[in-house]
Amino acid sequence: MGLREFLDDGIEGATLVMSRKGRIARVTVMILVGGLLGYHFGARAMLVWLTVNGALEGLLLYLDRRFRPRTTGRSSLLVRLGPAAAFCTVWSIMAALSWSYGPPAMKFAALIILFGMVVEGLKYGALSRSALLVMTPPPFIALIAAPLIAGGFKPWELVVVVITLAGLLGYMLDTARLLRANALALEKAQAEAQEASRAKSAFVAMMSHELRTPMNGVLGLAHALGATQLNTQQTEYLDMIVQSGDSLMTILNDILDLSKVEAGKLELESAPFDIRKLGHQIHLVWSQTARLKGLDLSLDVAPETPTWLLGDPVRVRQILLNLVSNALKFTETGRVDIRIAPTSDGVTLAVSDTGVGISELQQAALFSPFTQGDRSTARRFGGTGLGLAITRQLAEMMGGDVTLTSAAGQGSVFQVRLVLPLAPAPAREDAGEPMLDLAGARVLVVDDNLVNQAVARAILESANATVATANDGRGALARLRVEDFDIVLMDVHMPRMDGLEAVRRIRGGEAGRPDIPILALTADAMIGEAERLLSQGFDDAQPKPIQPAGLLRAVARLRRCPSGLGAGADRGQLLARAS
């Protein structure tokens, strides 16, 4: 190891962090030592001691406040090692003088302080070899100098003292080597974990974009189809498509947004919902699957079950979907029964089947992520083993639990208890939300995916907007230079020129009005994405799959004001919605 590598050993700023954590203990001992000095050597000694240490603490606090880790290179040796060296020197000089000229009590205190500084050096040595180098010489020099200054030692006694201190030094260096080796292994593991986390985040962001883009086409065109003339059966089928798509997107959001799930930040909504209607929707969605397998699928809603409950309907639907899906998957003959019944504080959802059943040994790990009954289960029935783990997590978040009654070959009964208070029926909306009219608005949609263009066009034209399209940032700039638009809908990821570069050039005055409102269409679902887009010059952001009502409201709001005026008013709401 070269000298430069030795001096640069350790994580940038680690010694400053260690000093900050030990400040209270260090100042407490400093005050106690000051009292001893004042008692044995007078007020002047105490004043000098407190003044010097106060100045050093002030310097350390100043360096700590101004320290910023460098992305390249290292901070100067004075910043990294200067305070530690100064503290050790001052305390060692004080201990040596106290040993030499003080009474027995001060000699004992000096010895304790010097050995305490050796231990402190070992602690810092675990962070950096260079810190060990500057912190251990002062106390060892003081331990050697104190008996020489005090005198009264025979030559052979001094030899014994030196040999003892040399042995202590060797022991300390060996201990420091082991501590530093362990610390290096920990630093390496931490760096690898951080790199793995960054790689995971990059993968999640990519998969979010790749999965959301086709789902935008499916759900977007389903919404557009809903605006056309359909008969009752077609409307019912379309409603099932949208409901199933929304449930898929809910699960996709939970899996892709790993940072939120791992941090325990999955949040539940609270809104009135019709539990009876939800049960009938689930039954209708899975009826065809049951018929194809030759199974009977029944729904029994207890007569005393209230119609309206207060909770998160999407999550309740997800729980019931998981249970019914599993029951149908693992049942080859017989039936699957869904039962909804009230409890004193909510509702119970029970799904029973005549399937393969689950042994007691398998039940112990059944609710763990990526776990199935046995290894043959995945090969025979497929699946990831996430459904029941998610179901238990959601049930516990709703103040309930999941119980299982089963035996191998005798079917299973899953029962979920949810704490959901009663809710009054919401006010009836005869015509729903009034349709926004964007007549006269000229909107430029910029997206490299033709299906996404078609979705945006269908939604906007249903509100009487005039829509033009471009396939990438370059095409958008070309159209903006020669045509007049009220608002731009810009995809973020595109070939040739992406949305961020296009926005930068528009704001720089290279194409049309620099203050034209620009709304980002993004398939990225990572935390902080909305904030990042706003900081890059966008006025608002709409996640994919596009929600027609949300998109139309955003366009209507932004077209009324130039960039920086209309968006700023609702920026707080946007950030809250995105997080």
Q: What is the pLDDT of residues 186-202, one digit of tens each?
A: 878 888 877 777 776 66
Least confident of 144-153, 486-495, 506-515: 144-153
* pLDDT score, position 154: 76
Give me the percent of the chain exceeding a pLDDT of 70: 82
- The single-letter DSSP state of residue 422 is B
Q: What is the CATH number of domain 442-578?
A: 3.40.50.2300
Give me the percent of the chain exceeding a pLDDT of 90: 29
Task: Enumerate long-range contacts of 423-432, CB under 8 Å, 24 or more apart.
Answer: 423/272, 423/273, 423/308, 423/309, 423/310, 424/272, 424/308, 425/272, 425/307, 425/308, 426/272, 426/308
* Cβ atoms of residues 505 and 476 within 8 Å: no
* pLDDT score, position 299: 95
Q: How far apart are CA 34 and CA 521, in angstroms?
A: 66
* pLDDT score, position 15: 78
Measured in degrees and rounded to the nearest 5, phi and psi for residue 569 equal -65, -35
Look up the pTM and report it: 0.49
What average pLDDT does range 343-372 have in this prediction? 80
* pLDDT score, position 575: 41
Domain boundaries, given as residue ranges, for the chain: 3-152, 271-419, 442-578
If you average pLDDT over each of 175-184, 186-195, 356-365, 501-510, which comes out highest? Answer: 501-510
How much is the mean pLDDT over the chain? 81
Name the burial class of residue 76, with classes exposed (0-12), middle (13-18) and buried (19+) by CB atoms within 10 angstroms of its CB.
exposed
Cβ neighbors of 330 (< 8 A, separation 6 or more) are 353, 355, 356, 381, 412
Sign of torsion, CA 9 12 14 16?
Answer: positive
Least confident of 131-145, 197-211, 310-324: 197-211
* pLDDT score, position 506: 93
Continuous segment of H or E residues that includes residue 335: strand 335-342
Q: How far apart are CA 571 and CA 575, in angstroms?
A: 6
Q: How far apart are CA 249 and CA 178, in angstroms?
A: 51
What average pLDDT does range 434-442 have in this prediction? 80
The per-residue pLDDT for range 256-283, each reduced to its tens digit, is 544 555 555 567 888 999 999 999 999 9
Continuous segment of H or E residues that includes residue 162: helix 155-226
* pLDDT score, position 426: 83
pLDDT tier for residue 140 given thresholds of 50, 70 and 90: confident
What average pLDDT does range 80-102 have in this prediction? 86
* pLDDT score, position 530: 76
> Which CATH superfamily groups domain 271-419?
Histidine kinase-like ATPase, C-terminal domain (3.30.565.10)
* Cβ atoms of residues 489 and 522 within 8 Å: no
What average pLDDT does range 336-357 have in this prediction? 94
Least confident of 157-161, 252-256, 544-548: 252-256
Greater model confidence, 550 or 502: 502
What average pLDDT does range 213-227 have in this prediction? 79
Q: In the chain, what is the greatest distance between 2 CA atoms, to the nearest angstrom? A: 112
What average pLDDT does range 105-134 have in this prediction? 83
* pLDDT score, position 272: 93
pLDDT tier for residue 415 given thresholds of 50, 70 and 90: very high
Q: How far apart are CA 246 and CA 542, in angstroms?
A: 16
- The single-letter DSSP state of residue 540 is E
pLDDT tier for residue 351 given thresholds of 50, 70 and 90: very high
pLDDT tier for residue 10 given thresholds of 50, 70 and 90: low
Closest CA to 546 of 216, 115, 95: 216
Structure tokens at 357: 């059943």
What average pLDDT does range 468-482 have in this prediction? 93
Check whether 576 has a pLDDT greater than 50: no
* pLDDT score, position 174: 76
Neighbouring CB atoms inside 10 A of 216's CB total 23
If you average pLDDT over each of 62-76, 134-148, 199-213, 446-460, which comes out highest? Answer: 446-460
Helix/strand/coil (H/E/C) assignment for every residue in 470-513: ECCHHHHHHHHHHCCCCEEEEECCCCCCCHHHHHHHHHCCCCCC
* pLDDT score, position 442: 93
58: Cα within 13 Å, side-chain hemisphere? 6
* Cβ atoms of residues 544 and 523 within 8 Å: yes
Write the DSSP assignment of 193-251 as a string of letters.
HHHHHHHHHHHHHHHHHHHHHHHHHHHHHHHHHHTS---HHHHHHHHHHHHHHHHHHHH
Least confident of 28-37, 122-131, 263-272: 263-272
Q: How far apart are CA 319 and CA 322, in angstroms?
A: 5
Q: How far apart are CA 45 and CA 63, in angstroms?
A: 27
* pLDDT score, position 205: 66
175: Cα within 13 Å, side-chain hemisphere? 15
Measured in degrees and rounded to the nearest 5, phi and psi for residue 410 equal -120, 20
Dihedral (Cα; 348, 354, 359, 362), 10-degree rounding:
-60
301: Cα within 13 Å, side-chain hemisphere? 13
Q: Is 156 helix (H, G, I), strand (E, B) or coil?
A: helix
